[in-house]
Structure 1
């Protein structure tokens, strides 16, 4: 049995005056990518300088205005990377380069050496303030821990005097979620006062969920409590940095935005220590799905994935939100049917908004293709197979035909698992379009016998039908009310049993002068009370219809075992 009694419950915040549950996210936050620092340090094989440059260029292309590029005072490769960005003029004029450092003078001094020539920089200092770390790591009092933060702020002020460029201070009480709120506020206020923060000289106060310790609502309470208790909220840019230890970092970030956070630090697709940082793209795409501009250029998720996987040497999980190969895929038959109907309704209604069951956003808005939407396996239903035939190949199968053809595909899927669209089309050709034995239609001559001046019940169409039976050519004549009826009469005389057309459908497959048409005939074997569909295609609709009749006749004979 699990020894759950070893663990004590992390206390929640006693904060009944919370207001965040009644709010909605209205706009995108300030985004800060920490892929090149927090994300990179968690890689089995950290990025080399060239890979960091490629990743940095991606972040620029995506529209990030703040990027934490590393810990240049503690790592030579990160120092060299930053110098490369400066020397090769790779930093856009409107971007803030963020650098992390502990509150130690020699590290802060080297940090300022590294950012020499950077026009806009965020110097990010931190020290851990949590109850547990004060006890077991630092063995220090509250006042001693607070003094570390104050001294770090003083040192940044000292070295920025000789820096030719804009400096914004960022302070993080690391392990914030394990820190008593009044004490966290006290330390942050001491930093703000020491810096001389004001409305025109803001400080980024970053409140990290360094280790996710409780449910997202508790983090939201902590953020709102801090936001409302700063003595001058206008001098603070309130930032969050959630981790994903409990698997709820995205929810924590979104609730924290409701609670008053202005800024989010995270990584692309959530890479980071342990279970990772918050996934900034997940949040951004969530906003996009709600009609909010995410303020990032994320239309081509495949390009982002490509750089991410190559530089991080990590594979994207197939179920990763928005980016996984299977997230716009439906295996369930009922889901496939709903998607099919939703897409068709969208086309017919030409509505202003995207509304398709099981697809919260249009995959094409992310640079994804419609091709992966529906996958067919043994759990799929008739709607999915019909959707593939329509979406991929333009065949709009009559509704009564959906189950008949789905049963054909079901046999394959039960043997091999997933069935690809190509296999589905190949089987469609085999079972319908290329069903040309034993009777193979060759040509038809149609004569119109109608006379508008005479109103009678006589047949108005004569056909001369040429076909082969097991390779032997035959020619027959027949009369009927239209070409299809005449061909039906001719063929039932040939095959020796009564057949009846239950339904007929046709549609254009392509457009233009060489357009092809598809025809579908639902044909009943009246003697056996058994029906099946036939399909024909041609640039001539009459020929397509006749081919459909022959296809259906051959299928009926196959059912009788006479093929």
Structure 2
């Protein structure tokens, strides 16, 4: 009765209503059949069968979907959907099993991001279907060349680095170290590669950009990476590129992706870094002097000095003095974007204030500058 009432209520406000049976894979199947039939009669347009806690196996899930299609008389009137979690590492396998059993909507996330162990990874599902088309009688309208960029963009936004051995988009997904594997790939890529790097948007252009590279070469190289910028965006990106090129002998694709994707997730800045000076060592207390530029009609320079347990913490305390806001540092990570002594460093900061979480990311060849 509650299902009928709530679905009917939702249908009064929305033309499309998805009914999702929480923890369906551990529920009584006979009860599920009755609930789904009732939800459809009340106006549901999508019936979702979630594996909420990642409990089921591919064979079990296939059978559950098959029996739902057999025992819910009006199931052909709706879109049948699945939503799998990865607690036992089988989210993608379960999703593909459900697809073979006849569902038409697969709920998934980029990089498998999600609660606990995450959800079924979109890129893995898509490439499994594309690579093994003979096993799945479906048509996909996904531009697979955008998978790698989408993965990188989400990683930049969330600060969660994709594990190197992650299928499809991990750094090692197309790496071959064993000699026999390398020889095989050189002779015929299909020997050890079941898909091409280009199919997911990994560029294999060997053009090297440096401080002598011009705007045209820079723009054309960005296009090969899949970035099409308007004039204003191009001017800003090229200015950042020239600054970076003065510090590095060569600028790699990963450097460019960080510069461009960073711009994509920026919000209007209230303060901008003008300069900083840090004194630190193993026999002195770290001291940081930070000067920020605040723009509120008329630009104002504000500089504060603070000490701290380490140079980065000292800089954070100086910034606190300038903005007049205290926060709790939840997480701080630094990683190298590329290889070499002149590599671009990326700093990720997560802070908390009044129960709200804020994240920020900085990029520089100087990790202290990136952090500040």
TM-score of the aligned structures, taking structure 2 as reference length: 0.51
Distance 1:156 1:216, change over 3 A: same
Partner of 1:339: 185
Partner of 1:476: none
Secondary structure of 1:299's partner?
A: helix
Shift of 1:301: 3.3
Does residue 362 (structure 1) correspond to residue 193 (structure 2)? The answer is no
Shift of 1:234: 2.1
Partner of 1:177: 25
Does residue 214 (structure 1) correspond to residue 62 (structure 2)? The answer is no
Which structure's relative contact order is higher, taking Cα pairs within 8 Å and 6+ residues apart? 1
Shift of 1:194: 2.2
Shift of 1:311: 1.6
Shift of 1:328: 0.3
Match of 2:130 among 288, 292, 304: 288
In the alignment, the residues of structure 2 paired with residue 233 and residue 190 of structure 1 have an alpha-carbon distance, to the nearest angstrom, of 11
- Write the deviation string for residues 351-371 of structure 1: whole angstroms up to 9, x where unpaired: xxxxx1110011122221458
After the TM superposition, which segments of 4 or more aligned residues of structure 1 sit over 6 Å from their partners?
none
Does residue 192 (structure 1) correspond to residue 40 (structure 2)? The answer is yes
Partner of 1:150: 4
Partner of 2:301: none
Partner of 1:303: 149
**Superposed counterparts of 1:58-137, under 5 Å:** none
Distance 1:221 1:337, change over 3 A: same
Shift of 1:339: 1.1
In the alignment, the residues of structure 2 paired with residue 231 and residue 272 of structure 1 have an alpha-carbon distance, to the nearest angstrom, of 33
Distance 1:247 1:366, change over 3 A: same
Distance 1:306 1:337, change over 3 A: same
Aligned length: 202
8 Å Cα contact 1:204-1:238 kept in structure 2: yes
In the alignment, the residues of structure 1 paired with residue 139 and residue 49 of structure 2 have an alpha-carbon distance, to the nearest angstrom, of 25
Partner of 2:176: 330
Distance 1:216 1:371, change over 3 A: farther
**Superposed counterparts of 1:419-438, under 5 Å:** none
Partner of 1:268: 110
Secondary structure of 1:275's partner?
A: coil
Secondary structure of 2:16's partner?
A: strand
The root-mean-square deviation of aligned C-alpha atoms, in Å, is: 1.9
8 Å Cα contact 1:207-1:241 kept in structure 2: yes
8 Å Cα contact 1:205-1:236 kept in structure 2: yes
8 Å Cα contact 2:164-2:171 kept in structure 1: yes
8 Å Cα contact 1:176-1:207 kept in structure 2: yes
Does residue 227 (structure 1) correspond to residue 81 (structure 2)? The answer is no
8 Å Cα contact 2:109-2:122 kept in structure 1: yes
In the alignment, the residues of structure 2 paired with residue 295 and residue 276 of structure 1 have an alpha-carbon distance, to the nearest angstrom, of 24
Shift of 1:294: 2.9
Secondary structure of 2:172's partner?
A: coil
Shift of 1:300: 3.2
In the alignment, the residues of structure 1 paired with residue 31 and residue 92 of structure 2 have an alpha-carbon distance, to the nearest angstrom, of 26
In the alignment, the residues of structure 1 paired with residue 204 and residue 64 of structure 2 have an alpha-carbon distance, to the nearest angstrom, of 42
In the alignment, the residues of structure 1 paired with residue 139 and residue 145 of structure 2 have an alpha-carbon distance, to the nearest angstrom, of 12
8 Å Cα contact 1:285-1:294 kept in structure 2: no
**Superposed counterparts of 1:161-560, under 5 Å:** 167-195=15-43, 203-291=45-133, 294-343=140-189, 356-370=190-204
* Structure 2 unmatched runs, 5+: 207-372
8 Å Cα contact 2:54-2:87 kept in structure 1: yes
Shift of 1:317: 1.0
In the alignment, the residues of structure 2 paired with residue 216 and residue 272 of structure 1 have an alpha-carbon distance, to the nearest angstrom, of 20
8 Å Cα contact 2:34-2:72 kept in structure 1: no
Distance 1:177 1:299, change over 3 A: same
TM-score of the aligned structures, taking structure 1 as reference length: 0.34
8 Å Cα contact 2:113-2:119 kept in structure 1: yes
Secondary structure of 1:167's partner?
A: coil
In the alignment, the residues of structure 2 paired with residue 296 and residue 234 of structure 1 have an alpha-carbon distance, to the nearest angstrom, of 25
Shift of 1:257: 0.5
8 Å Cα contact 1:300-1:368 kept in structure 2: no
In the alignment, the residues of structure 1 paired with residue 125 and residue 102 of structure 2 have an alpha-carbon distance, to the nearest angstrom, of 16
Distance 1:293 1:359, change over 3 A: farther
Partner of 1:511: none
Secondary structure of 1:285's partner?
A: helix
In the alignment, the residues of structure 1 paired with residue 87 and residue 94 of structure 2 have an alpha-carbon distance, to the nearest angstrom, of 11
8 Å Cα contact 1:254-1:283 kept in structure 2: yes
Shift of 1:217: 0.8
8 Å Cα contact 1:205-1:239 kept in structure 2: yes
8 Å Cα contact 2:123-2:147 kept in structure 1: no
